């Protein structure tokens, strides 16, 4: 228990370093996107290749990708239904921010530092479904709600998913697993060295991006959005723990992931759709703080 708490506090301390660096003027919130490109395009793929290289994915575990997709879409539908009598902009905002999880840039490195490298495999499989649901379904659905014609081209959706470096990495790793291919040891030396920096850079990035400022009039909207996510996470988490036909360590990770933060891409989607970016950024930041506490707590309770 003490070891888990120390690892969690170490990761939180790195987030604190990111906040302090921003307050000292070394970096700014605008630098978040630069760190994000390094983490999602370099260090995370290297860490994933290293972890998958020594792990054999059982066929049953592939169901985690489908489960991740269903969980995200279910939350998107709930968000849409709860705002169906409001404006199309409110509906789009609910679709974007209800059903998405920050797995690659937060949960995977956080779980890696907290639980161990094997947790990366489970979270990565879950994130395959999340990537399709967030970068594909949520983007297409949300944009169609605010688009004048009510439609969005399929090519735009495929481009969003197909150019996501983490999703491309996942697909490559799955194909390698199915073909029983492994990277040579010489290359793993490189990926393990670069991948070792992933937890630090990812947590530092989160600290730089945290923004807890919000107009007082919008706190109720933020509370509704976050309550929707966590009530859903609690209900599905209990059902997953007792009903999913997976190993115990995989079920522990799944329950923890249900309390992961809102995907980091959602404020950008809201900006593109000319929605409330301030509210999206605030909800995103609060969800990070909740995840910092909830995920290690769940790990201690369930493991």
Q: In the chain, what percentage of residues exceed pLDDT 90?
A: 22
> What pLDDT is recorded for position 257?
95
pTM, 2 dp: 0.83
Average pLDDT, the chain: 84
> What pLDDT is recorded for position 150?
54
> What pLDDT is recorded for position 109?
81
> What pLDDT is recorded for position 94?
92
* pLDDT confidence band for 4 (50 / 70 / 90): low
With 80 as the cut, is the pLDDT of residue 5 above it? no
> What pLDDT is recorded for position 68?
92
Burial 147-167 (b: 16+ CB within 10 A, else e): eeeeebeeeebeebbeebebb
Least confident of 92-96, 120-124, 146-150, 174-178: 146-150
Longest dimension (CA), the chain: 58
Rounded-to-integer distance, Cα 29 and Cα 36, Å: 12
> What pLDDT is recorded for position 238?
96
Residue of 132, 107, 130, 104 whose CA lies nearest to 48: 104
With 80 as the cut, is the pLDDT of residue 123 above it? yes
Least confident of 5-14, 23-32, 69-78: 5-14
> What pLDDT is recorded for position 251?
92
Q: What is the dotted CATH code of the domain comprising 2-212+221-302?
A: 1.20.1530.20
> What pLDDT is recorded for position 233?
94
DSSP string, 139-174: HHHHHHHHSTTS---HHHHHHHHHT-HHHHHHHHHH
> What pLDDT is recorded for position 154?
65
Q: Average of pLDDT values for 118-139?
A: 84
With 60 as the cut, is the pLDDT of residue 260 above it? yes
> What pLDDT is recorded for position 84?
87
Q: Which residues contact 15 (CB under 8 A, 6 or more apart)?
A: 203, 204, 206, 207, 210, 288, 292
> What pLDDT is recorded for position 270?
84
With 70 as the cut, is the pLDDT of residue 151 above it? no
Is the CB of residue 97 less than 8 Å from the CB of residue 157?
A: no
Rounded-to-integer distance, Cα 212 and Cα 284, Å: 9
- Please write the tens of the pLDDT for every residue from 202-250: 788 888 877 777 788 889 989 999 999 999 999 999 999 999 988 898 8
> What pLDDT is recorded for position 227?
94
Rounded-to-integer distance, Cα 232 and Cα 95, Å: 14
With 80 as the cut, is the pLDDT of residue 183 above it? yes
- Region for 263 from its dihedrals, namely left if φ exceeds 0, alpha if ψ lies in -120 to 50, beta otherwise: beta
> What pLDDT is recorded for position 61?
76
With 80 as the cut, is the pLDDT of residue 298 above it? yes
């Amino acid at each position: 228990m003490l070891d888990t708490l120390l690892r969690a506090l170490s990761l939180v301390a790195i987030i604190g370093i990111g906040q302090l660096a921003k307050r000292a003027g070394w970096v700014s919130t605008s630098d978040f996107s630069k760190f994000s490109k390094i983490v999602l395009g370099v260090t995370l793929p290297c860490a994933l290749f290293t972890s998958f290289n020594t792990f054999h994915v059982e066929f049953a575990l592939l169901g985690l990708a489908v489960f991740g997709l269903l969980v995200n879409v279910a939350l998107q539908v709930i968000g849409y239904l709860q705002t169906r009598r409001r404006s199309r902009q409110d509906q789009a905002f609910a679709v974007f921010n209800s059903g998405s999880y920050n797995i690659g840039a937060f949960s995977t490195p956080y779980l890696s530092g907290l639980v161990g490298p094997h947790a990366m495999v489970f979270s990565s499989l879950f994130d395959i479904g999340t990537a399709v649901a967030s970068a594909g379904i949520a983007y297409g659905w949300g944009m169609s709600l605010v688009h004048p014609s009510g439609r969005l081209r399929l090519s735009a959706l495929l481009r969003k998913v197909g150019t996501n470096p983490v999703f491309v990495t996942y697909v490559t790793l799955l194909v390698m697993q199915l073909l029983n291919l492994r990277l040579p040891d010489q290359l793993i030396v490189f990926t393990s060295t670069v991948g070792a920096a992933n937890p630090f850079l990812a947590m530092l990035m989160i600290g730089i991006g945290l923004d807890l400022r919000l107009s007082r009039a919008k706190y109720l909207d933020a509370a509704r959005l976050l309550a929707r996510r966590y009530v859903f996470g609690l209900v599905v988490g209990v059902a997953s723990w007792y009903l999913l036909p997976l190993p115990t360590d995989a079920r522990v990770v799944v329950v923890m992931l249900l309390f992961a933060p809102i995907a980091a891409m959602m404020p950008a989607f809201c900006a593109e759709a000319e929605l409330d970016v301030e509210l999206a950024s605030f909800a995103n930041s609060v969800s990070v703080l909740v995840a910092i506490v909830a995920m290690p707590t769940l790990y201690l309770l369930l493991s």
